[in-house]
Amino acid sequence: MTGRLERRLLRLNDRIAALERQEHLAFEELNMHRHLDDDAQRDAAVGGPVERADSRDTAADVSRFEKVVAGLATKRNKLVEKRDQLTARLR
């Protein structure tokens, strides 16, 4: 039984590590989109309809990536909780 739990814990740790990498990459991309959105919002304040449309697009990109990062964090947190439960059973 202990061997099986240990294997499950190792698999969970691998999945958690993969999600952490994905979350980090998505967060970095979110930051890039935030910078682009900041520039687009300033351009839209002094520009015309094209700049305003671009600012709406960049704001949507930021929102989309915020949801991606939040979703990855939620998945990771659930796996960490599951890992903690298995670790408690192992003791």
Q: Residue 59's pLDDT is what? A: 97
CATH number, residue 51: 1.10.287
| pLDDT band at residue 1 under the 50/70/90 scheme | low
Residue 48: what are its φ and ψ, rounded to 5°? Answer: -105, -160
Let me know: does 65 contact 5? Beta carbons within 8 Å. Answer: no
pLDDT at 9: 95
DSSP 3-state assignment of 1? coil
Q: Give tens-digit pLDDT for 19-48.
A: 999 999 999 999 999 999 999 999 999 999
Enclosing domain of residue 32: 2-90
- Count of domains for the chain: 1
